[in-house]
Structure 1
Amino acid sequence: MDVGYQNQSTALIIGGDNVRINGHGTGTFDANTDGADTIRSSHITFNNWTVYNGDDSLSMKAHSTDITIKNCKFHNGLGIAMGSIGHYNDQYETIERVTAENIEYVNTLHAFYIKTWTADQNGYPPNGGGGGLGFASGMKLTYLTTTCFRGAAFAISQRPRFSGAPGVGNCTNSEFQVRNMEIDGLYGDSKSARVASLQCSAVVPCTNITMVNVGLHLTNGTPAAQYLCGNIANPSRFNCTGTPCVGGSATGEC
């Protein structure tokens, strides 16, 4: 059955096991809308989706496991997101085994980004929070193409900052770890020279981060070659060229 959409804050809220969604519907999205979010869900497949929006193209949240994204095309949004996660003080949450294959991006901010909360609690969800525990692991993206990224292709921010949230928070003290992420194959052009901006926690650094077969260039033909790293332990198949901006962000970079 085709799925149609109304212009609301959330088009779909998906939960459950062994769910497959083929994208054949039509409709319009408000700019500040995710394509779809998963939470406490496993064995979800997104196949053949085309999303026009202004927020996360797709977002995997707490306890999303075994998620497959394939043959999709994303326009104008922020890209595929992990999180935000770690909102809730002392709560243990995970994201595990997320794969994306054969994805096309048009004018998105990122291809893929991760946003976790700090160890400090500043206010309460939805716009505030923090102090959560856990990890995101087993994320693999292959065969990605792009027309005109607006920011770093890949980003990690461990200090989300949303409108109306109190306090500032420590940008590098998150106790939520990012590990086992692999990017294999990204080609196309970008407005940004940053291939990656990885602002990880000093308490639990990012580990086992691999990027290989990246052919990203600026619209003038110059290679995009910046890999900005903060608290990355033993990066694989790429060399860090500098440090990222350290600060709060709702979209993966300061």
Structure 2
Amino acid sequence: MFFTDTWIGFRYVDRLTVAGGGYLDGKGPAAWPYNDCHKNPGCKPLPAFMDSLKIILTSYLVSNLNYSQTLRLDFITNSRVHHLRSINSKNTHINVFACTNLSISQVRITAPAESPNTDGIRIGSSNTIKISNSVISTGDDCISMVSGSQNIDISYVACGPGHGISIGSLGRSHENNDDVVGIRVSKCTFIGSDNGVRIKTWAPSLSSLASNITFEDIVIRNARNPIVIDQQYCPLSGCMEGDSAVQVQNVIFRNIWGISQTKVAVNIQCSGVLPCKNVQLINIHLAYKGRNGHATAVCSHVLGSSYGRQIPAGCL
């Protein structure tokens, strides 16, 4: 195992089990002040032979200051990660790349809301991944699914603080521009998170597809942006003018209820050149208890429909 910027990493393992009763302490506060990825597009990612292996982590573990990702899984098949606790990773807590048939359950991930780029679980170029029965509190996405994520099932996850459960951001580079297809997020709870369920694509961007995505049976407890499709995503300064070329289609938001921290509870902003297609809002009940009236929904460049209860009033 040779990983220059990963604390614990595995590659090309079949039937791997990573489990334990202790926790992984990434000692993130020592590194967070030097993380400038939020303003520097050229920053170094924080984050790469075995046959059949079982690792049991039962003791208190402390990482070296040079490591950034706590646990990295590359090209892992038919495997399980369960009953782990990760705290204060310098960057991503669990990074999943090019894995197939992997289950992650009963994990608890913790970092402060202000910790930069501390994604809880980041998935890319992977197929048939299941995440369940976990609690994720972090400074970036609780779970992010980037290019090439397919057939992902997420259920019974509590998220907050953090940036929500996100698909994307998509479409930024030639090297990482595969389709995202077959995502289901269900029975999850968002507590004080920046976002709830979100799809984000760069603008301008290269072409790809995000399709067959379902968010259902979701509880929102004071999330700032409960339902988001953002195809004008560019968090950096000096972004170029242009539209996203990522086609977002066949997206269902169903049975989503709770309290929005902001007035705009549903915000669907799609590409001007490739409008979102077949987006459905079904039984949405999101209240806003702040000043200036009731919750609202805002939609742009989207083709879709709404059914059942719609609070706020549907914009489709």
TM-score category (smaller protein): 0.7 to 0.9
Separation in structure 2 between the aligned mates of residue 104 and residue 117 of structure 1, nearest angstrom: 27
State the number of aligned residues: 227
* Aligned twin of 1:168: 240
Q: Does 1:150 align with 2:224?
A: yes
Q: Does 1:86 align with 2:167?
A: no
Separation in structure 1 between the aligned mates of residue 291 and residue 283 of structure 2, nearest angstrom: 17
Deviation at 1:228, TM superposition (A): 0.6
Q: Does 1:218 align with 2:288?
A: yes
Instruction: Map 1:120-199 to 2 at 5 A.
Output: 131-151=205-225, 153-163=226-236, 165-170=237-242, 173-199=243-269
8 Å contact from structure 1 (residues 210, 236) kept in 2: yes
Deviation at 1:20, TM superposition (A): 0.2
SS in structure 1 at match of 2:93: coil
Change in Cα spacing, 1:136 to 1:212, as seen in structure 2 (3 Å) is same
Gaps of 5+ in 1: 120-130, 243-254
Letter matched to residue 241 of structure 2: G
* Aligned twin of 1:69: 154
The structure with the larger Rg is: 2
Separation in structure 1 between the aligned mates of residue 142 and residue 230 of structure 2, nearest angstrom: 17
* Aligned twin of 2:102: 19
Alignment deviations for residues 210-229 of structure 1 (CA, whole Å, 9 cap, x no partner): 11111111236998542211
Structure number with higher relative contact order (C-alpha < 8 Å, ≥ 6 residues apart): 1
Match of 1:9 among 91, 96, 99: 91
**Higher share of residues assigned strand:** 2
Letter matched to residue 93 of structure 1: D
SS in structure 2 at match of 1:82: strand
Alignment deviations for residues 2-22 of structure 1 (CA, whole Å, 9 cap, x no partner): 323252111111120000011
8 Å contact from structure 1 (residues 91, 132) kept in 2: no
State the superposition RMSD in angstroms: 2.4
Separation in structure 2 between the aligned mates of residue 223 and residue 102 of structure 1, nearest angstrom: 29
Separation in structure 1 between the aligned mates of residue 239 and residue 110 of structure 2, nearest angstrom: 38
TM-score w.r.t. length of structure 1: 0.81
Change in Cα spacing, 1:142 to 1:90, as seen in structure 2 (3 Å) is same
Separation in structure 2 between the aligned mates of residue 26 and residue 205 of structure 1, nearest angstrom: 36
Structure 1 stretches of 4+ with a deviation exceeding 6 A read none
* Aligned twin of 2:56: none
SS in structure 1 at match of 2:155: strand
Deviation at 1:110, TM superposition (A): 1.9
Identity across aligned pairs (percent)?
22
